[in-house]
Each structure stands twice: as C-alpha cells, then as structure tokens.
Chains A and B, each alone.
Chain A
Amino acid sequence: MTETGIQIENLSFGYTKERLFDGLNLTLYGGNIYGLLGKNGAGKTSLLKIICGLRFPDAGRCRVLGWEPKHRPAALLEDIYFLPEEFHTPAISGEMYRRIYGPFYPRFDDEMLQEYLEEFDLPAGKKLSELSYGQKKKFLLAFGLATRCRLVLLDEPTNGLDIPSKSQFRKLLARAGEEDRIILISTHQVRDMENLIDPIIILEEGTIIFQQPMYEVSRRLRVAMESTEPSGDGVLYAEKTLGGYVVVRRNSGEEETQLDLETLFNTVIGNRSLIGELFEHPQAQPAAHPAAREGAVERTGEEK
C-alpha cells in the first residue's frame, strides 16, 4: 500500500467505562512535524499508541499509511518508529543494536545513524544499558530517524535531554523531515519545540480542539507586550510577566507577530470556543475573554 497520512474518524477509546476519546477526528499529512500538546491525562500518549497499534480503538476508524494499525501488520510496523517516554534498551552495544534491529527496517540508513550518533556525541562501544537516560534517548532518537520510517512518533522526546542535546535534537529533527514523512511529537516541553513543530494540535478532554499551522496562528492572533494591565474587548489572553503583560488579541490585519507555544497553548485552552470560532470564521469579531475583561490575569511561575 502506498497510501500516506493518518485518518482518524469518530474514534472512541477508553480504559474504563469513562471515554477518553469519544468521536475523535484527526487527519495528518506527510511532510510535517506535528506537535501534539495537551494537559496531563488529555490522552496524548494513548493517541500515539492507537496510531501505532499498541492500543485498539473501541469504535471508529483509524487508518495509518493505508493500514489499520490495530492489526499491527508487519508492513506498517516497518514504516513506524515509536519512541515512548518509558523505553527499553537491551544490554548490548550500539553497534550490536544496529546490526540486530536495523535490518527490521527496510530503508534503514547506516550512514545516517553514524552521522546522527556523532552529532549527539555518544560514546562508542558502550553498552546501551550503561548509558544515562538522556544518552539512551539520544541513541534511540538517532536510530529512529535513521530507520527512515514514514511515521515517527515521539512521546516527550526532550525529557531527560541536557541543554546542548535539546538544541542538537531540534537541528537533527529539522533535517530529518522528508516529503512523505510524518513526525508527530507529543510534548509538555513546548519551549524545546519552539520553531520546530508546525502544525500544532491541541488535545483537550478527548477532542482535538485546535489544529493549525503556525502561519495561520500568526495571521489570526497577535501578541504584544504591554506595560499596563489590558482591558476591554478583543483580549483573548493576558499574562503578567516581569516586564509587563503578554497580551494576545485577534489579529485584524496588523503586522504578524509570533506567539510562543506556551502562550498559544494557554490562549487556546482558556478560550476554547472563541478560538474555535476565530479559526473557523476569521472575519467574526470574537467577544473578549471574560477573565481579561474583568482584569483577571495569570501570573507566571517566576513571580510566584
């Protein structure tokens, strides 16, 4: 099968009688590095597991690269690389790992792996089980990208990485994008993913409440730093910071500004219906955020 992309329609899933997803819809296309954001327990990891066939939906349709993942067909697994947050590395050297596991992936690229490992500055010859958590993760990331799978699923990939490694990770991933490849990253560490993930998907209470490319975000939302507490209509989100207030408003054709992911996430979560309306009907003037109207603002962690 040569079908690309992920199509999820009316998907229902739950661990108990209480549904985690009820009628979830999502379509993803090749050539993108998607960021999947959501609060704890929103179902990000479960969604990744459903996509790669480790969990089965209770109802609905899920097609990945033309296959139904719940059957875990070998041809699909050869095209998916999933790096979970809690992973396993056998007690063998990286070289042995490459020799044993590389051939499972038909398009595995040895040279690419070598290049990535050098970039991550990983010690050669050491057993994987003897490496630190971050080093193990870097090895598995490098291996995953070298598989040249069309679908790469990363669950909290920057957790446990040191500061230089996070930057290396971003560079590496930016290079790893291919025309038909989907990289889906579930993360809480939105700052690590700045300028990397695009489009952004936000999962809340079992529903995709937001799925937009960053250029649409810049086109429709405007962020500004203001010295006084914002008030009045049009304020979608406001947050007190050290230098004043970060204020998000509807962009009515002014200059485009770039929202950081954390502000975008907070704006979307706090104004679910307004944001939905704004992105569906960009001409409609949304009412002001009630919290902002009342002058209530969030404070950043640094100030507390």
Chain B
Amino acid sequence: MNNFSFRRLGLLLRRDASAGYKSVFIAMAAVGGFVLLVSVVSALGRELGPIHGPMYFPLLFLGGYIVTSLTFKELHLNGHGVFYLALPGSALEKFLSKLLVTSLVYAFGSLFFYTAVSAAAEGINRLVFGYGHPFFNPFTRTTLIAIAGYIVTQAVFLVGSIYFRKLAFIKTNLYLWLFGIAVAVIVALITWAIFHDYAVGSRIDLDPYFQRIGESGELQAVLSPMAEKFLQAAKGLFWGVMAPVCWIISYLRLRETEV
C-alpha cells in the first residue's frame, strides 16, 4: 500500500507552516517582547541571577502543550475537517506531520528562538548597563532532558487534541487531574488492603511495621530493591512506553475519524 511518501509528508508540513506562520510570528513577537522586558527590568533592579533557564522552561512546556492541543483543531471545525481529511495524504502522513511540528520542530525551534532572543536581550543589557544576566546555554544536560521530557509528555496533549472538539488544552489537563486522583485512590486502596492491620482510625501508622522489619535488619534489604525496581519500571514506562502508546492512540483515532 502506498501509505507513506516523503513528498506528501513534505507537502503537509509546508501546508501546516503556511497556515500557521502568522500565529507563530505573533507569538514570537509577544514572547520576545516579554523576555526583553523582564531581562531589562531585572537588570535595572540589579537582580543578576540566571533568569533564562526558568523563563525558557514554561515556554517549552506550557507553550508546547497549548500548541499541541490546538494542532488538530481543524479536524473538529465545520468545513475544515472535510477539507483536511479529504486532502491527499494517508492518516500516517497527516499524523506524522502534526507530530513533527508539535514535538521536534516546536522543541528545537523554541530553543533556537529563545537562545537568540535571550542573547539579544543580554547584549542590550551589556551595551546599556555594562552588565547583564548570564547567557542562556541551550546545551546543558537539564535543557536537553527537559526537551526529551517535553516530547514524551506532549504526546498526551496530542491525544487530547484529536479527541476533544473544543477546549482541548483545558480538558486534557482536567483528565490528567482526574487520572492523578484515580491513581491516588487506587494506591490508597491497595495500601489499605495491605496495611489495614496498622490502621489507627482513618490513618495508617506504619511505624510499628518499620520498627519490626528494621529490628530484624531487613528494612534496607526489603525496601531498597523493591523501590529500585519500581523506579526503573516507572522510568521505563515514562521514557519508553507513554509517548508511543499516545502516538498510536492518536494515529488510530485520526484514521477512524469521520466528518
């Protein structure tokens, strides 16, 4: 089956770029202005600590999640959805074009843009005041891990974008909260089932339990490997499973969408 072609993927990417470049320029102007303002004002107040790392991460995460939530908006609008789905391109190509734009292109685009804007702001500070904040270094381990973390977590918002017709960003957040609450409830129930003997009223007092296994010298031996395994499994799920599962769900949903 002629299900994938780089030519069509390129055409879809070009189409997305042409449709969204104005919004991107407006957003860039707004962010650039804000960075410049904060940089100059804090330099005036002689607050010269590193400000660019803390300012870049909200742009990456919050901005990226919002952009991702809007990416399939056209699918849910009257007339637009028909136009988009009837456009020559397989579901895989359409999905990949949206994924690329909202993950890699956004992450590295925003990194490049922020590096340039912050460098310009600090250049101005040094020219005007003779001093400034430390320059933003895009190559730190923290930044690269943050970008990887963004690419993994934005996949959840991609699912939200394709599922929710309206207010995808808010609804995805709401569902994440609900998911968090559900997990907390399940953990609480499991804890109750295992440790109900240690319940004191509505609270579970595990001190006697820890004292007992501690006294026998087993605390370290029992808890450490378990915690380690749990952590490894959670990391594996986060870095290796979560995003691909979300991508598959999004792709299947796109393939099955009717308008």
Residue B91 interfacial (CB < 8 Å): yes
**A139 contacts the other chain (CB 8 A):** no
| B227 on the A face (CB < 8 A) | no
Indicate whether A100 sits within 8 Å of B2 (C-beta atoms), given known contacts A54-B258, A54-B259, A82-B82: no
B34 near A: Cβ within 8 Å?
Answer: no
Contact with B along A78-114 (1 / 0, CB 8 A): 1010101011101010001000110111000000000
How many A-B pairs have beta carbons closer than 8 Å: the answer is: 72
Q: How does the 8 Å CB contact mask read for B5-48 relative to A, with 1 for contact and 0 for none?
A: 10010010011001100000000000000000000000000000
* Residues in A whose Cβ lies below 8 Å from that of B87: 77, 101, 104
Question: Is B18 in contact with A74, judged by CB distance below 8 angstroms?
Answer: no
Which listed residue, B5, B74, B82, B90, touches A72 by the CB 8 Å rule?
B90
Interface size on B, residues (CB 8 A): 29
Contact between B86 and A80, CB atoms less than 8 A apart:
yes
Q: How far is the CA of A240 from the CA of B187 in the complex (A)?
A: 79
> Which of A53, A86, A96 interacts with B18 by CB under 8 Å?
A96
A103 to B14 Cα, complex, angstroms: 11
**Nearest CB of chain A from residue B4's CB, rounded to whole Å:** 8
Q: Are A72 and B8 in contact (CB under 8 A)?
A: no
B85 is an interface residue with CB less than 8 A from chain A:
yes
**A74-B93 in contact given A96-B18, A100-B18 (Cβ < 8 Å):** yes
Query: Does B88 sit within 8 A of A, measured CB to CB?
Result: yes
Residue of B nearest to A78 (CB): B88
Q: By the criterion CB–CB under 8 Å, are A90 and B19 in contact? A: yes
Assuming the contacts A72-B85, A73-B2, asked whether A87 and B79 have C-beta atoms less than 8 A apart, the reply is: yes
B-side interface mostly: helix
- A97 (CB) vs chain B CBs: closest residue: B18
Instruction: Please report the C-alpha to C-alpha distance between residue A55 and residue B88 in the assembled complex, in whole angstroms.
Output: 16
- Contacting residue for B3 out of A49, A73, A87, A90, CB 8 A: A73
Secondary structure at the A interface, as helix, strand, loop or mixed, is loop
User: Which residues of A have CB within 8 Å of B256?
Assistant: 56
A26 at the interface (CB under 8 A from B): no
Partner of A87, one of B2, B19, B82: B82
Q: Within the complex, what minimum Cβ distance (angstroms) separates B142 from chain A? A: 39
Q: Is B212 an interface position by the 8 A CB rule?
A: no
Number of interface residues of A (CB under 8 A): 27
**Residue in B77, B85, B90 whose CB lies within 8 Å of A73:** B90
Q: How far is the CA of A6 from the CA of B105 in the complex (A)?
A: 41
Chain B hits for A87, CB < 8 A:
79, 82-83
| A73-B3, A88-B80 known; A100-B15 Cβ under 8 A | yes
B 65-86 contacts with A by CB, 8 A: 74, 77-80, 82-83, 85-86
Known: A73-B2, A74-B2, A88-B79. A54 touches B88 (CB 8 A): no
Given contacts A54-B86, A103-B11, contact A72 B91 (CB under 8 A): yes
A interface residues (Cβ-Cβ under 8 A, vs B): 49, 52-56, 71-75, 77-78, 80, 82, 84, 86-88, 90, 92, 96, 100-101, 103-105
Q: List 24 A-B contacts (CB under 8 A).
A: A49-B82, A49-B258, A52-B86, A53-B86, A71-B255, A72-B255, A74-B5, A74-B88, A74-B89, A77-B89, A80-B86, A82-B86, A84-B82, A86-B78, A86-B82, A87-B82, A88-B74, A88-B80, A90-B19, A92-B18, A100-B14, A100-B18, A104-B11, A104-B88
| A-B interface, 4 closest residue pairs, ranked by CB to CB distance from nearest | A88-B79, A77-B88, A78-B88, A74-B90
